[in-house]
Amino acid sequence: MRIGDAKQTYEADEAIWTSPTQKFWFALFLLALLVFPLMANAYLLYLGCLVGIAVISTTGLNILTGFTGLISLGQAGFMGVGGYTVAWFSLNTGLPFPVTLLLAGLLAAAVGILVGLPSLRVKGLYLAIATLAASVFLHFIFAEWESVTGGMGGLSLEPAHLFGVTFQSDFRMYFIIVPLAVLMVFAARNVFRTRIGRAFIAIRDRDISAEILGIDLLRYKLMSFALSSFYAGVAGGLFAYFYRVVTPESFPLSMSIFYLAAVIVGGMGNLLGGILGAAFMTLIPEILKLLTAALTPFYPNAPVFMSPMLEIIFGALIVGFLIFEPHGLAEIWHRIRRFFSLWPFRN
């Protein structure tokens, strides 16, 4: 894609969100999100909260990898920074959760800027390795800085609270996580209405041409890292409040691969793709659990056989979508919409 196509790409994606029909369906979707916790059982509420957290983190990574073209394997580390920030401030200051979440995002953004400094000199696989090294280093800090992080035992924190209301149950946490996920997706959408967002797209399409046009590569790459890490920090803070415990094992390397897979499977450079990818990848482990439970009466060794399948499926999905559908689930969704828009009986 040429740098001149950046505006066209944005406008095509913008039409999806702004047409009258899409506004109607989006309003219906918001209504469904509002009604869902009133009808869902505890298990579905749990999954809904997990999907909301995944949407926030995947949207952040999509800004960096999908829209700016900078591959990162450090998302788990940035989420860890956010989780530990929330835990520490909650335990030591008693601040309400909106403040601790904001601090979590800001501190993660600061760390993201430091990690993004090499991005001017390296790109592609080398940048991915650099972010991977940063994630390993952060994991080492989480495990060894015992006076702050609690070491391998981690930190336990009280439920989120605001104005005397304690958000202890999954039902109450749903009304924090999901609305915040919706707001942050819309915030990301609005970023790409601005010069900053279009600079991200121009850098992704061809960074040399973008620099010739006057775009400061280092500045905008660091802004992309900061914004992506801010989203990861907020997601990590919500993760901490949701489980009420953070340990180094809460943010393993596999989590970074999970979110990269969600971006690829959903569709890089597409906000709808980030949502679809996050939901799809979050539900895969649950589908495997149900499949294992169904097979166990007929094949007693099914749990042993299925336990390593998750990593295999993640890898297969990444490779499969890169080969057969590089634009991910978002493109499949667009094809379905186009198909139904061409029904013979449609006016």
User: What is the pLDDT, as a whole number, of residue 3?
Assistant: 40
DSSP one-letter string for 26-85: HHHHHHHHHHHHHH--HHHHHHHHHHHHHHHHHHHHIIIIIIT----S-HHHHHHHHHHH
Q: Where is 246: in which H helix or E strand? A: strand 245-246
- The residue written with tokens 């828009």 in the block is 341
3-state class (DSSP) for residue 161: strand
Each residue of 156-180: b (16+ CB within 10 Å) or e?
Answer: ebebbbeeeeebeebebbbebbbeb
User: What is the pLDDT, as a whole number, of residue 153?
Assistant: 87
pLDDT (tens digit per residue) in 147-199? 888 888 888 888 888 877 788 888 889 999 999 999 999 999 999 888 998 99
Q: Where are the alpha helices (DSSP H) in 192-270?
A: 195-205, 207-212, 217-243, 253-266
User: What is the pLDDT, as a whole number, of residue 229?
Assistant: 95
With beta carbons less than 8 A apart as the criterion, state whether 230 and 60 touch: yes
With beta carbons less than 8 A apart as the criterion, state whether 219 and 210 touch: no
Count of all residues that appear for the chain in the document = 347
User: What is the pLDDT, as a whole number, of residue 118?
Assistant: 83
pLDDT (tens digit per residue) in 45-91? 999 999 999 999 999 999 999 999 899 999 999 999 999 999 999 88
User: What is the pLDDT, as a whole number, of residue 334?
Assistant: 82
Please count the other Cβ atoms lying within 10 Å of the Cβ belonging to residue 39. 8
User: Which residues on adjacent β-strands are paired with residue 156?
Assistant: 245
How many angstroms separate the CA atoms of 106 and 25, rounded?
34
Q: Could you report the average pLDDT of every consecutive run of 10 residues in the chain (347 residues)?
A: 44 55 77 87 91 95 92 92 93 87 95 87 84 92 89 86 81 91 93 90 86 87 94 95 91 90 89 91 84 80 73 79 84 80 52
Cα distances (angstroms) measured from residue 215 to each of 96, 128, 160, 212: 39, 23, 41, 7
With beta carbons less than 8 A apart as the criterion, state whether 183 and 56 touch: no
User: What is the pLDDT, as a whole number, of residue 61?
Assistant: 95
Is the backbone of residue 244 left (phi > 0), alpha (psi -120 to 50) or beta? left
User: What is the pLDDT, as a whole number, of residue 237?
Assistant: 94
Full-model pTM: 0.88
